[in-house]
Amino acid sequence: MRVALDAQLTVGFATGIGEYVRGLATALRDAGTDVIELTEPRLDPWRFDRRVLWDQVLLPHRAARSGASLLHCASGTMPLRSRLPTVVTVHDVAWLRVQGHAPWYARRYFGAFSLERYRAAGAVITDSSFSRAELLDVLPALEPGRIHAIFPGVARAFAQVERRPDGRTILVAGTVEPRKNLAYLLRLLPQLPGARLVSIGPATPYLDECRRLARDLGVAARAEFRGYVDRATLMELYEVAAVAAVPSIYEGFGYATAQALCAGLPCVVSDRASLPEVACGDARVVPLADEMGWHAVLARALAGEMETHAAGVRARSVERFSWHAAARRTLEVYASVDG
């Protein structure tokens, strides 16, 4: 089987979807599959017009010329027309749930327009059972048997992290946008003396709101907004951080949680969306309504009291988020479409 894989979101700053595409491509090749990664480095995938140009014009054209027998649209969007049987990964339906602040044209394209395209897919993959249920809720016409929930894998580098916690760093990984809820942690920081919050990930205008809040709370010196960091810096932060915090309002999967579990880094997550499913009892789940609970868990982690538990669940987490397993199940989906 030769698979054409939409890898455009690996260009430039690769966020969770870029991580997914890179990991899947490697795992599929390791399983003996011929994978053709389709990209156009000259197009900024984060500019709306360039993304539409890629999705609707360049991607189907290059897929048709690739010699592949199947197209995997791995970034949540699909072309209006494709000559190849198509599998699409729908990471979440956030554009229909929590992105009301975004421009109307983006909400339309990544929301209702993309939703209608999924009906033409041979099969749909979601990152979690939560996202599968969400998709069925917003698109009940889609046959449940065509939707397959498959946890993404986590890169081997996280399983190889050697922990040396500094007792003060609260790590927050992911794009700085409202649904990630970084402001929630900033409001807790004044009650955690000596702690520092390190945010890593591409910025949106929400970053300005977080900077203002940090200044107003008097914690600006203890709140670092580093933006996108390279792999070496990322691994160093997973080594030294005392705790990973994921107070998100909405996640279709939650790479920050899975990566922390695989790195043996103590982790606390919100009770929203897919996070309890991904945590599976291995990370602490605390309701967002319980700020005192969040404070208590973070204080325990900063004191080193959660290290033993995190180390104990690490091997199980590496197995749960195995790219080998994810690739095997993805190939089964391909076979159901490609015949």
Tens digit of pLDDT for each residue in 221-241? 999 999 999 999 999 999 999
Q: Please compute the mean of the pLDDT values over residues 283-310 and round it to a whole number.
A: 98
User: The pTM is what?
Assistant: 0.94
Length of the chain (residues): 339
Domain boundaries, the chain: 2-153+322-338, 156-320
Token reading at 296: 């208590």
**Predicted confidence (pLDDT) per residue in 54-108, tens digit:** 999 999 999 999 999 999 999 999 999 999 999 999 999 999 999 888 999 999 9
What confidence tier does 22 reach under pLDDT thresholds 50, 70, 90?
Answer: very high
Q: For residue 15, what pLDDT is reported?
A: 82
- Which CATH number among 3.40.50.720, 3.30.200.20, 2.60.40.60, 3.40.50.2000 corresponds to the domain 2-153+322-338? 3.40.50.2000
Per the DSSP assignment, residues forming a β-bridge with 89 are 125
d(CA 199, CA 72): 32
Q: Please compute the mean of the pLDDT values over residues 246-270 and round it to a whole number.
A: 97
Q: For residue 336, what pLDDT is reported?
A: 95
- What number of other Cβ atoms are within 10 A of residue 280's Cβ? 14
Asked whether the predicted pLDDT for residue 338 surpasses 80, the reply is no
- Chain-centre distance for alpha carbon 42: 24
Asked whether the predicted pLDDT for residue 220 surpasses 80, the reply is yes
Q: For residue 49, what pLDDT is reported?
A: 97
Asked whether the predicted pLDDT for residue 297 surpasses 90, the reply is yes
**What is the identity of the amino acid at 208?**
D
Cβ proximity of 271 and 287 under 8 Å: yes
| Structural class in CATH, domain 156-320 | alpha beta
Q: Please compute the mean of the pLDDT values over residues 32-57 and round it to a whole number.
A: 96
HSE-up of residue 145 (Cα within 13 Å, Cβ side): 2
